[in-house]
Amino acid sequence: MVFNIHNLNPCSRLKLLVALCALSLLGCSRSEETGQCNAAPQVPVRQVVIIGIDGLRADAISPALTPFLFQLAESRGLAWGKIDVSNGRTQHTYSAPGWISVLTTSWASEHGIVDNKSAGPVKVPTVFERVQGRKSDSRSIIITSWRPLYDLVEGRLRALPAMHHAGFFRENDAAIEQEVLTTWQACQPDLAFIHFDAVDKAGHDGSFDPSDSGYASAVRETDSRMRRLWEKAFSAPSAHGEMPQRLIIFASDHGGIGNNHGRYSDAERWAPVLAISPSGYPAVNISRLVDIGQVSLDFVQLEGGRLQ
Ligand SMILES: [Zn+2]
């Protein structure tokens, strides 16, 4: 029998429509992607991975809460840095302006995303476009579970001709980890931005405070995720055994106070950052949020000269 919605009484019809809408909304909100990341004929000589840990407070980096991330710095003779994501109390400590500053090397006054409700478009080129502009066969990806960030970046890139870029919107950090172990691993893109959101969510659900049990447990879980990804992906060779030189940057976009952020207290505006460069490459200095994208461009484009 062919199902026909018109055979249902009005009440059942309405219920069915609501159920279908909920299902499709859920489907859309949990997983979506733009483009595909097909590996380049040759694995790039240099790769950058920017790992965004949303809402990680600077004082959450410690041997007890983040044993892997703490040790990773120590093992390289480095210390975690702190950056003022508010640019001297001029940019709100929200995620959309913060991550777009990372991905455009510019502050909100230039890129136009002043808070999480800014609809875009992002006014200045992203690092994804700038890498491709310099190296036409490059590959880039973004993986996130936060819809506004996905929409801002993909909205801008969709308007461009033939970008070698793929965007992945996934349900949560576990799904993002899986995407790194499959898509990133197989594709080996020149540039990747991978965004983890569980720590920020725990801050909003409880308190942005390492002494809050929910926040502390999300930080610990994220640290374990970073250890797995480091071992299985970022310090591992490609499927064909190549080992590119990799610059791996860990950064947060803001801290928080109580169960929120957006303003300019020290707990909100100072965010941790760490750049691990390959052996033989000098230590990378990041003192501002907007430096993250720039050092990434400098690194992947070293052979072709520096972008301005
Ligand atoms: Zn938040």
Do residues 64 and 146 share a domain? yes
- Assess contact for 81 and 287: CB atoms under 8 A: yes
How far does the centroid of ligand 1 lie from the alpha carbon of residue 132, in Å?
31
Please state, in angstroms and rounded to a whole number, the distance separating the CA atoms of residues 160 and 217.
41
How far does the centroid of ligand 1 lie from the alpha carbon of residue 141, in Å?
23
How far does the centroid of ligand 1 lie from the alpha carbon of residue 115, in Å?
11
How far does the centroid of ligand 1 lie from the alpha carbon of residue 202, in Å?
9
Residue 47's closest CA among 227, 232, 184? 184
Please state, in angstroms and rounded to a whole number, the distance separating the CA atoms of residues 199 and 56.
6
How far does the centroid of ligand 1 lie from the alpha carbon of residue 260, in Å?
7
How far does the centroid of ligand 1 lie from the alpha carbon of residue 28, in Å?
22
Do residues 85 and 3 share a domain? no
pLDDT tens digits in sequence order for the chain, 308 residues long:
333 444 445 445 444 444 444 444 444 457 899 888 888 888 999 999 999 999 999 999 999 999 999 999 999 999 999 999 999 999 999 999 999 999 999 999 999 999 999 998 999 999 999 999 888 889 999 999 999 999 999 999 987 777 899 999 999 999 999 999 999 999 999 999 999 999 999 999 999 999 999 999 999 999 999 999 999 999 999 888 999 999 999 999 999 999 999 999 999 999 999 999 998 898 999 999 999 999 999 998 765 444 33
Do residues 16 and 142 share a domain? no
Please state, in angstroms and rounded to a whole number, the distance separating the CA atoms of residues 163 and 174.
27
How far does the centroid of ligand 1 lie from the alpha carbon of residue 269, in Å?
12
Do residues 7 and 68 share a domain? no
Do residues 9 and 74 share a domain? no
Do residues 12 and 148 share a domain? no
How far does the centroid of ligand 1 lie from the alpha carbon of residue 201, in Å?
7
How far does the centroid of ligand 1 lie from the alpha carbon of residue 50, in Å?
19
Cα angle 209, 292, 169 (rounded to 5 degrees) comes to 70
Q: What is the CATH number of the domain that holds 256?
A: 3.40.720.10
Please state, in angstroms and rounded to a whole number, the distance separating the CA atoms of residues 279 and 296.
16
Do residues 22 and 132 share a domain? no
Residue 256 CA: distances (Å) to CA of 63, 81, 96, 201, 244: 21, 17, 15, 11, 36
How far does the centroid of ligand 1 lie from the alpha carbon of residue 237, in Å?
34
Q: What is the residue whose two structure tokens read 């609501």?
A: 18
Total domain count for the chain? Answer: 2
Do residues 214 and 291 share a domain? yes
Please state, in angstroms and rounded to a whole number, the distance separating the CA atoms of residues 218 and 239.
31
Do residues 82 and 9 share a domain? no
Do residues 166 and 253 share a domain? yes
Do residues 8 and 145 share a domain? no
How far does the centroid of ligand 1 lie from the alpha carbon of residue 35, in Å?
28
User: pTM of the predicted model, to two decimals?
Assistant: 0.89
Do residues 190 and 210 share a domain? yes
Residue 228, domain extent: 34-304
